[in-house]
Amino acid sequence: MKSRVDVVRRACSAVVLLVGLGLVGACGREERAPAPLAAPTMTRAAWLEAVRQAHAGVDGAQSSDDKNDALRRIAVVLDEATPLPEASAAPVRQDLASRAARLALELGRADEARGWAERGLALGNGMPFFRANLLVELADAERMLGKNEAAREHLVQALGINQDLLDRELEEP
């Protein structure tokens, strides 16, 4: 009788062991499944340093080569997935896009400038002041391309944003 109980107990232990191994395997698979396929994003510190360097590149750009280098640096930062929450990153990206558009205008490349400005505006509302700057750059690009009506509309929009911001700053506390 005792030996029968031992046999049954051993059989049960084996079943428990097998079920346990199965569960461990299943749980492991469940965790491995959503593993990201994309390359890991930059750290926040690295991203912010890249932004700082991109701005420094624009600040120090004198020649056309410098300006093209600065544009490339901005493109790298804007192409990179940001590790910051979108709400925090949007104004930073808009400011960079605005500077890129201005550089492209200085280089006489209106189409490219328009592309940068539209890219910045497509990032959403971000910060109104940067949005207004992007609209001015877009207007300058449109004007360079001979599209004065489009330029006018963007300028009127930019003026409205600045009026709102001025009113907000000067309103009585």
45 binds other proteins, rule: CB under 8 A: yes
Do 80 and 72 form a contact (C-beta atoms < 8 A)? Answer: no
Binding other proteins (rule: CB under 8 A), the pick from 71, 77, 91, 102 is: 91
Select from 23-31, 61-69, 73-81, 101-109 the region that touches other proteins (CB under 8 A): 23-31
3-state secondary structure of 89: helix
- Does residue 105 interact with other proteins by CB under 8 A? no
Residue ranges with strand state E in 85-159: none
d(CA 118, CA 59): 22
Which positions from 47 through 76 interact with other proteins, judged by CB under 8 A? 48, 51-52, 55
Evaluated on CA atoms 41, 43, 45, 49, the torsion sign reads: negative
**At its nearest, how many Å lie between other proteins and the CB of residue 101?**
14
Amino acid present at 62: Q
Helix 44-59 × helix 86-106 angle, to 10°:
20
Instruction: Point out which residues bind other proteins (CB under 8 A).
Output: 5, 8-9, 12, 15-16, 19-20, 23-24, 27-28, 30-31, 43-45, 48, 51-52, 55, 83-85, 87-92, 94-96, 126-127, 129-130, 132, 136, 139-140, 143, 148-149, 151-152, 155-156, 158-159, 162-163, 165-170, 173
